[in-house]
Structure 1
Amino acid sequence: MPFSIKLNNCDITVSSLAAITFNGTASDGDATAFALQGSGAATNVALKITDSSSKNVVPGQPSSTQKLIEGENQLNYNASLISTDDTVKAGSANVTTNFMVTYS
């Protein structure tokens, strides 16, 4: 599932690069993916986020820096469910993550 984060009113004389850190609980089965939450959650399933270069976004670690342009910037990502084991049990797939933007 593609999604994006828009950064508005960027002044590249102040900061020309940005990195996004997605905070959340890492999956026990794959530390580079986010754990599903809540009762009735699918088992051995996690949420993987990748950036526009298809690089994994690891929970709690900054993504690759992206060069900004003056004004509005759109940072594109993709979220997908992955299996973390051969045996998967159906259930809900809810994840909460907060993100932090670091400018440099």
Structure 2
Amino acid sequence: MKIKGSAIFMLSALSLGSTLAHAAVTTASGGTVHFKGEVVNAACAVDAGSIEQTVQLGQVRSASLAASGQTSSAVGFNIQLNDCDITTIKTAAIAFSGTAVDSANPNVLGLQSSAAGGATNVGVQILDNTGSPVVLDGTTASAKYTLSEGTNIIPFQARYYATGVATAGIANADATFKVQYE
């Protein structure tokens, strides 16, 4: 009888211990994880860091952009291509697309609308690896870049470009790009 009672006591103690361990678990609502990407049939894959990047142009004094054609210092940025196979494709060029600031300056991106406090008479100009302004029509490509096997980094620059006497304010712009291979 003592053995039977000891076994029942042990089982009770074990089940109570496991019940107490389970009682300590608390579950709360979490969130959502978004996974974004694309499988491409191309000579290279655009690096995830290049797909959605921000180029910090910083603060520029309006006095530096006091006349049409004046520019700020250029800030470099890159588009990285990964896993390039140069068996049949030897070059890549980038075609940028965006809304031009006006018809007189088709190579200058217009600024995003700002309810209040937006800069005026200024836009953003993108320069390719030769220092030439890029066309923003989405089909005209930048200078060709000779690819090498593996990872390739294509350099660009961006700068503010005055279309008149610039006024102070927020000066953000967006452009999209496509890679053209030959």
TM-score class normalised by the smaller sequence = over 0.9
Higher RCO, 1 or 2 (CA under 8 Å, sep at least 6)?
A: 1
> Who is 1:94 aligned against?
172
Name the SS for the 2:100 alignment partner. coil
CA distance in 2, matches of 1:17, 1:41: 39
What is the TM-score of this pair, normalised by structure 1?
0.92
Contiguous gaps of at least 5 residues in structure 1: none
1:84 to 156, 163, 169: 163
CA distance in 2, matches of 1:93, 1:21: 22
**1:31 correspondence with 2:91:** no
1:74 to 126, 146, 153: 153
Higher helix share: 2
> Who is 1:12 aligned against?
86
> Who is 2:77 aligned against?
3
**1:59 correspondence with 2:136:** yes
Aligned AA for 1:18?
Answer: A
Aligned residue pair count: 103
CA distance in 1, matches of 2:82, 2:88: 14
Higher strand share: 1
What's the C-alpha RMSD, in Å, of the aligned pairs? 1.1
Identical counterparts, % of pairs: 41
CA distance in 2, matches of 1:11, 1:91: 45
Aligned AA for 1:90?
Answer: A
Contiguous gaps of at least 5 residues in structure 2: 1-74
| Runs of 4+ in structure 1 over 2 Å off | none
What is the TM-score of this pair, normalised by structure 2?
0.54
> Who is 1:43 aligned against?
120
